[in-house]
Amino acid sequence: MIQVYENINGALNALPPESVLNGQSFFGCWVNMVNPDDKEIELVCKKTGVAEDLIKSALDEEETSRIEMDDCASMVLFNIPVIEDEEEYYTYSTLPFAYIRGGGAVITVCLNETTLTTDFVNGRVKDFSIKKPTRFLLQILYKTAVKFLQYLKQIDKASQRIQSELHKSMKNKELIQLLDLENSLVYFSTALRTNQVVLDKLQRIEKNNFYEEDEDLWEDVSIENRQALEMCNIFRDILTGTMDAFASLISNNLNIVMKLLAALTILIAVPSMIAAFWGMNTKVPWEGKIWGFWIVIGISVVSCIVTGLILFKKKMLK
């Protein structure tokens, strides 16, 4: 999908689809591409002179954050947070997002539609202008860092809820959810760390093109990104410790159950052994006596009581 916007009298207007397809120039426009197909990529490359590899690099989920430049265009590739729907709960991951400048146009590329771009389209971002591409990039990076912080708070609340459920009854379902949240934090930590590298490099490259407001905005972006990275590392350490603690608890509970089963097995084995002795096809004491049965039962009961007391003193039945 391709959406093309231009600034007219300070307002952001979308070009009609027929204008996009009928050869209108993209100069001075913002081209927003969401999971584009080959024809759409070819159209944008033809009108802007941007290499296909730059656009397609953002469509690879495993692509790492970086800044890439050639004679015709420059690209800033970074990772953004996304929510993935599971059957009963949410998980979190990251996707590459490309910001490309070439042919007098600004191009953004992502596999999924994201609020990072819809907020600009819907006018929720102050001082936004396509004619200030560097500030536009910094504004996207700032919203990315803020989005990471929002999702990290959601992950923290979800982990606390799951832990409270685990205190009541330990089930595989809750443990799997905690594991998914821990994996999400790993993705976030890696993305934030590489995004910070891009931010530092961007400041060195574009410093001469910064307005005074841009310099302040870059500092805000860097602060928010570092705060998100620190929060992510803290939450990941806490969640890792929690997972280890619950794993130990589960193992300890299993040992308690096995200990109790072993004690019950011993208690059952004592009367079984006595009954086996008096069930042999040989001469046994009190054979043929009516009261002999009750004597054997009494011996079994006494043996069970003595064995039970021994096991209780050794804390095998607790």
pLDDT tens over the chain, length 318 residues: 888 888 877 678 888 776 666 767 788 889 999 998 889 898 888 888 888 888 888 888 888 899 988 878 889 999 999 998 766 778 899 999 999 998 889 999 999 888 888 888 887 888 888 888 888 999 999 999 999 999 999 999 988 888 888 777 666 778 888 888 999 999 999 999 999 999 999 888 877 777 778 888 889 999 999 999 999 999 999 988 888 887 787 788 788 888 888 888 888 888 888 888 888 777 888 877 888 888 888 988 898 888 888 888 887 776
- CA 110 – CA 31 distance, rounded (Å): 12
Distance, in Å, from the CA atom of 188 to the CA atom of 190, rounded to the nearest integer, reads: 5
Which positions ≥6 away from 69 have C-beta within 8 Å? 75
Q: Given this model, what pLDDT does residue 140 score?
A: 93
SS3 letters for 189-216?
HHHHHHHHHHHHHHHHHHHHHCCHHHHH
∠ Cα 209 213 217 (to 5°): 95
Angle at 102 between CA 100 and CA 103, to 5 degrees: 150
C-alpha 28/C-alpha 44 separation (Å) is: 14
Q: In this structure, what token pair is assigned to residue 126?
A: 């102050």
pLDDT value at residue 318: 66
Within 8 A by CB and 6+ apart from 199, the residues are 141, 218, 221, 222, 225
pTM, full prediction: 0.80
| Strand ranges in 72-149 using DSSP code E only, listed in sequence order | 73-85, 90-102, 105-110
